[in-house]
């Protein structure tokens, strides 16, 4: 492992000034931000990540959850996953987000993990996490052994011939359904990126996972105001009931009116190279009665184009049942 300096900035302004001058954020960059460390330090111990320097951002004033004037919510980049999941407003108005976070990792990990770190957590593909193997995401152009190897947990949607790794985050699935916006500050100023555009498909460049550029710091995430009367939930299917990543998961936000679906947003995890959403599947539900056949139709649409690998064909049916059941649960609660 390369040596690195652990930098603890004397004040927040110094940290922001430092990131303006430095190559940061994109994987492989020389200087990296350290938040909870539960992804980055983990991967450094495996020699998968070898940053030259770390900048500890934990003392930046980015740890607040605040109501916005429009009724939405502003979530600071260093808000701990546990604090976000247990926040009264989140539990009441954005239940799928609270449930998604609590379905992930362990209490100890959630106490360390942060909003921005969770957005940037990396795949659990076994070849990515072991430098003894080639991996296009870790070493571009070296190959993808997962395509003909162990791929039971990997993606069936959004894959390419270069990478089939899935996005492992539970929180990001809820953020996708909630249509969150990621706020970024970098050397070119500030910008706001809808979550749907934040993560990139692997295509020919699987090493590039998000739109972050060198020097970009995520400052916060915003959520739109909650829809009145909405029922929201997160359903996670996995090999065991705790401390396990999703095989398929679904976040649903559903509003019923007059016995019909008035508005619905949903996203799926465990199956895509990024949190997966289909506006076509949502449109197929709106205005319809909450019946099994309608939910099944939406499930067929969101799974359209799925490309199972040698070990994960079961995910197609599992994912359909996951979203159909999540929709049924939300409709019956509404």
Ligand X SMILES: Cc1cc2nc3c(=O)[nH]c(=O)nc-3n(C[C@H](O)[C@H](O)[C@H](O)COP(=O)(O)OP(=O)(O)OC[C@H]3O[C@@H](n4cnc5c(N)ncnc54)[C@H](O)[C@@H]3O)c2cc1C
Binding site for ligand X (CB under 6 A): 25, 32-40, 42, 57, 77, 81, 104-105, 109, 112-114, 116-118, 120-121, 168-171, 217-218, 245
Using CB under 6 A as the binding rule, whether residue 236 contacts ligand SF4 is answered as no
Site string for ligand SF4, 188-217 (x = CB under 6 A): ------------------x-----------
Residue 146 near which of ligand X, ligand SF4, none (CB within 5-8 Å, type-dependent): ligand SF4
Name the nearest CA neighbour of 53 among 29, 37, 69, 77.
29
DSSP 148: G
CA-CA distance, 285 to 294, in Å (whole number)? Answer: 7
Using CB under 6 A as the binding rule, whether residue 54 contacts ligand SF4 is answered as no
The pair phi, psi for residue 109, each rounded to 5°, is -65, -40
DSSP 312: -
Cβ neighbors of 288 (< 8 A, separation 6 or more) are 260, 261, 294
The correct pick among 87, 110, 137, 236 for binding ligand SF4 (CB under 6 A) is 137
Give how many residues touch ligand SF4 by CB under 6 A. 15
Using CB under 6 A as the binding rule, whether residue 145 contacts ligand SF4 is answered as yes
Name the nearest CA neighbour of 11 among 75, 53, 61, 80.
61
Using CB under 6 A as the binding rule, whether residue 82 contacts ligand SF4 is answered as no
Smallest gap from Cβ 138 to ligand X, in A, equals 14
DSSP-based three-state secondary structure for 329: helix
Distance (Å) of CA 174 to CA 12, 14, 71, 138? 30, 33, 18, 27
Residue 213 near which of ligand SF4, ligand X, none (CB within 5-8 Å, type-dependent): none
The correct pick among 48, 77, 102, 135 for binding ligand SF4 (CB under 6 A) is 135
Using CB under 6 A as the binding rule, whether residue 43 contacts ligand SF4 is answered as no
The correct pick among 29, 84, 146, 176 for binding ligand SF4 (CB under 6 A) is 146
CA-CA distance, 218 to 78, in Å (whole number)? Answer: 9
β-strand pairing of 217-223 with 181-186: antiparallel
Residue 273 near which of ligand X, ligand SF4, none (CB within 5-8 Å, type-dependent): none
DSSP string for 184-233 = EEETTEEEEEEHHHHB---TT-TT--BS--TT-EEEEEEEPPPPTT-EEE
Name the nearest CA neighbour of 73 among 266, 218, 226, 191.
226
Residue 121 near which of ligand SF4, ligand X, none (CB within 5-8 Å, type-dependent): ligand X
Residue 245 near which of ligand SF4, ligand X, none (CB within 5-8 Å, type-dependent): ligand X
Residues numbered 150-169 forming contacts with ligand SF4, rule: CB under 6 A: 154, 163-165
Residues that bind ligand SF4 (CB under 6 A): 123, 125, 127-128, 135-137, 144-146, 154, 163-165, 206
């Amino acid at each position: 492992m390369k040596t690195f300096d652990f930098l603890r900035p004397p004040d927040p302004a110094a940290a922001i000034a430092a990131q303006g001058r430095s190559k940061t954020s994109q994987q492989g960059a020389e200087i990296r931000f350290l938040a909870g460390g539960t992804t980055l330090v983990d991967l450094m111990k495996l020699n998968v990540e070898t940053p030259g320097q770390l900048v500890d951002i934990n003392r930046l004033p980015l740890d607040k959850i605040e109501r916005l004037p429009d009724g939405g919510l502003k979530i600071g980049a260093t808000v701990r996953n546990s604090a976000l999941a247990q926040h009264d407003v989140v539990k009441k108005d954005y239940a799928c987000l609270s449930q998604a976070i609590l379905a992930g990792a362990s209490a100890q990990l959630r106490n360390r993990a942060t909003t921005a770190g969770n957005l940037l957590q990396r795949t659990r593909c076994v070849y990515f996490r072991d430098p003894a193997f080639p991996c296009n995401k870790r070493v571009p152009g070296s190959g993808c052994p997962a395509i003909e190897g162990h791929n039971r947990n990997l993606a069936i949607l959004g894959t390419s011939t270069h990478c089939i790794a899935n996005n492992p985050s539970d929180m990001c699935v809820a953020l996708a359904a909630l249509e969150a916006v990621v706020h970024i500050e970098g050397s070119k100023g500030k910008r706001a990126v809808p979550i749907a555009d934040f993560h990139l498909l692997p295509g020919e460049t699987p090493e590039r996972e998000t739109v972050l550029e060198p020097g970009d710091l995520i400052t916060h995430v915003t959520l739109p105001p909650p829809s009145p009367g909405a029922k929201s939930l997160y359903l996670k299917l996995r090999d065991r009931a705790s401390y396990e990543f999703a095989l398929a998961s679904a976040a649903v936000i559903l509003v019923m009116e007059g016995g019909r679906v008035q508005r619905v947003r949903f996203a799926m995890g465990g199956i895509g190279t990024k949190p997966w959403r289909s506006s076509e599947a949502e449109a197929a539900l709106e205005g319809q009665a909450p019946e099994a056949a309608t939910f099944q139709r939406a499930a067929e649409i969101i799974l359209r184009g799925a490309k199972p690998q040698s070990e994960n064909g079961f995910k197609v049916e599992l994912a359909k049942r996951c979203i159909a059941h999540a929709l049924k649960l939300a409709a019956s609660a509404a």
